[in-house]
Structure 1
Amino acid sequence: MLDVPKSADKSYADGKILQSVAEGVGTVTFNNPDKRNAMSLDMWEGLGAALIELRDDPEVRVVILTGAGDKAFMSGADISQFEKNRHNAQASEEYGKRSDAQRALLADYPKPTIACIRGFCLGGGMQIAMLADIRIAAENSQFGIPAAKLGIAYGYEGLNHLVSLVGPSWARLLLYTGMRIDSAEALRIGLVDRVVPDTELWNATSDIARTISGNAPLAIQAAKITIAQVLKDPDKRDMKAIKAIGTACMDSDDFREGRRAFMDKRKPRFTGR
């Protein structure tokens, strides 16, 4: 079994979204294992509530997204809700507005995010994983987008992220066929960043998260802001934002603490100020 946090500080969506915090690391767990963590609309909204709380908690410096059980990170949308919530274009548009708000929240999240992926990562699960800053996968993971097998269109934002990670040819192959690929293939094409043995997934992800949590928050924020601007078209880049966060870093207590710690040959104690 995947060694995720045994208890939650808070829960949302009738317990299908769990949230916990430890050592500066927030964890959000998709907790619908009977359906391989398929996302209902209530779960999307619960995810948003959990992310907002962790975003606004000054003690949290990085957020891990993971799935409960050992079968799936997230197997996509809960298809049993399609007849009620996505049975035609108008209903799908309303569903999309409510779930898109949570994806937009994650896309613009100010803190580093890590997707800890084991088992199935399909459809909407791929969207969530691709929105994370870093993707760590277990060897048993499987990835795919079955939109063509369901007769639905995979949205622009999801495809934009997919193309940016794997390129247009692999995006076409995945979308046209609805095929699944294993974690080794996902690593080879750039869909995930690291693959580890199944039993080591949580510890490997936690180690990365704790390392990030121990670094200077403003410096990490600067990296996140700058990389996001690099990915934009040149005429849409916010160079003022890059300059502002750079100035904030150089004027920060953390920069002074980093220098002193280096000279004193000790571990720095960063405060994010």
Structure 2
Amino acid sequence: MSKTSELETSFADGKILKRSNGGVGIVTFNNPEKRNAVSLDMWEGLGHALTELRDDANVRVVVLTGAGDKAFVSGADISQFEKNRHNAEASADYSRRSAAQRALLADYPKPTIACIRGFCLGGGLQIAMLADMRFAAEDSQFGIPAAKLGIAYGYDGLRNLVSLIGPSQARLLMYTGARIGSAEALRIGLVDRVMADDDLISATSEIAHTIANNAPLAVGAAKLTIAEVLKDESRRDMNAIKQAGIACMDSEDFREGRRAFMEKRKPLFKGR
């Protein structure tokens, strides 16, 4: 995604890559020989990469993408199933070991975008659904083949799926284990934008940098409030929403936004 502002770092023996560029952090699933299938080591590497980008004050948006043009993430690495998921007990342990990374992404304080090209299946779709937005190339394919593997899909994954596409479409995907293309994924609300294959990276980068150049406190307040709206009314933290609004109105960025508007120039936001 264009020239980087810092050296690329890697985790999980190079299968998770992290870099940043102009306020945008980029995490790449780098296992193209297996269509970026995710192993336990890669789950843990993803957690390290996301934590470093979360704690980097210069990074305001994080993009998740897959190496090569064949897949975003084609799912879990099935070659590990015999060792790590061969029965209920082993599968529960596998889920526990990847739960922290899923929770980290689910509650990530910065905006996240899944940039999808090729296969986005099973655990890969679960990762994409945890992002704030999903942009897909025209040649992408989506599905959850749990019914074809004899796997029960977990509550969190199905909750996210139902929240995006509704219960009937979720049943259709889950019962059949079928794959759908980008046009159908867009129609049912599984992805937010579909772009020409050659335009995906540049268009995603443009949107990510637009977000990164906006006021971080305002973007953060929107993210927090939308998350609270999606909760049951009894669980909503209205005080957190109020405090986020106060922080914005008392911020240097609010004053900078007003000055920039009056002076007819682009604002330079600092996140405070």
TM-score when normalising by structure 1: 0.98
Q: Is 1:46 aligned to 2:50, yes or no?
A: no
Q: How many Å separate the matches in 1 of 2:97 and 2:237?
A: 28
Tell me if the contact between 1:8 and 1:18 (Cα under 8 Å) persists in the aligned partners: no
Secondary structure of the corresponding residue to residue 114 of structure 1: strand
Q: Is 1:227 aligned to 2:226, yes or no?
A: yes
Supply the RMSD in Å over aligned alpha carbons.
Answer: 1.2
One-letter amino acid of the structure 2 residue matched with residue 56 of structure 1: D
Tell me if the contact between 2:27 and 2:62 (Cα under 8 Å) persists in the aligned partners: yes
Q: How many Å separate the matches in 2 of 1:33 and 1:134?
A: 23
Aligned equivalent of 2:152 = 153
Aligned equivalent of 2:267 = 268
Tell me if the contact between 2:145 and 2:174 (Cα under 8 Å) persists in the aligned partners: yes
Percent identity of paired positions between Structure 1 and Structure 2: 76
Q: How many Å separate the matches in 2 of 1:145 and 1:162?
A: 10
Tell me if the contact between 1:4 and 1:68 (Cα under 8 Å) persists in the aligned partners: no
One-letter amino acid of the structure 2 residue matched with residue 180 of structure 1: R
Q: How many Å separate the matches in 1 of 2:3 and 2:97?
A: 28
Secondary structure of the corresponding residue to residue 86 of structure 2: coil
One-letter amino acid of the structure 2 residue matched with residue 195 of structure 1: V
Give the 3 Å change call, closer, same or farther, for CA 4–76 of structure 1 in structure 2: farther
Q: How many Å separate the matches in 2 of 1:124 and 1:94?
A: 16
Tell me if the contact between 1:4 and 1:202 (Cα under 8 Å) persists in the aligned partners: no
Give the Å deviation of 1:4.
7.4
Tell me if the contact between 2:3 and 2:21 (Cα under 8 Å) persists in the aligned partners: no
One-letter amino acid of the structure 1 residue matched with residue 115 of structure 2: C
Aligned equivalent of 2:129 = 130
Matched ranges for 1:148-187 at <5 A: 148-187=147-186
One-letter amino acid of the structure 2 residue matched with residue 62 of structure 1: V
Give the 3 Å change call, closer, same or farther, for CA 4–127 of structure 1 in structure 2: farther
Aligned equivalent of 1:190 = 189
How many residues are paired up? 271
Q: How many Å separate the matches in 1 of 2:268 and 2:169?
A: 43
Give the Å deviation of 1:80.
0.2
Give the Å deviation of 1:5.
7.0
Deviation string, structure 1 residues 221-240 (Cα, Å, up to 9, x no partner): 00000000000000000001
Aligned equivalent of 1:73 = 72
One-letter amino acid of the structure 1 residue matched with residue 175 of structure 2: Y
Matched ranges for 1:114-125 at <5 A: 114-125=113-124
Secondary structure of the corresponding residue to residue 260 of structure 1: helix
Secondary structure of the corresponding residue to residue 111 of structure 1: coil
Deviation string, structure 1 residues 104-124 (Cα, Å, up to 9, x no partner): 000000000000000000000
Deviation string, structure 1 residues 169-224 (Cα, Å, up to 9, x no partner): 00000000000000000000000000000000000100000000000000000000
Tell me if the contact between 2:111 and 2:132 (Cα under 8 Å) persists in the aligned partners: yes
One-letter amino acid of the structure 2 residue matched with residue 35 of structure 1: K
Q: How many Å separate the matches in 2 of 1:94 and 1:180?
A: 28
Q: Is 1:55 aligned to 2:54, yes or no?
A: yes
Give the Å deviation of 1:8.
5.6
Q: How many Å separate the matches in 2 of 1:8 and 1:130?
A: 28
Deviation string, structure 1 residues 129-163 (Cα, Å, up to 9, x no partner): 00000100000000000000000011100100000
Secondary structure of the corresponding residue to residue 28 of structure 2: strand
Q: Is 1:104 aligned to 2:112, yes or no?
A: no
Secondary structure of the corresponding residue to residue 265 of structure 2: coil
Aligned equivalent of 1:251 = 250
Give the Å deviation of 1:9.
1.5
Deviation string, structure 1 residues 25-72 (Cα, Å, up to 9, x no partner): 000000000000000000000000000000000000000000000000
Secondary structure of the corresponding residue to residue 269 of structure 1: coil
Q: How many Å separate the matches in 2 of 1:15 and 1:8?
A: 14
One-letter amino acid of the structure 2 residue matched with residue 25 of structure 1: V
Tell me if the contact between 2:256 and 2:268 (Cα under 8 Å) persists in the aligned partners: yes
One-letter amino acid of the structure 2 residue matched with residue 128 of structure 1: I
Q: How many Å separate the matches in 1 of 2:174 and 2:101?
A: 23
Tell me if the contact between 2:23 and 2:61 (Cα under 8 Å) persists in the aligned partners: yes
One-letter amino acid of the structure 1 residue matched with residue 231 of structure 2: K
Give the Å deviation of 1:100.
1.1
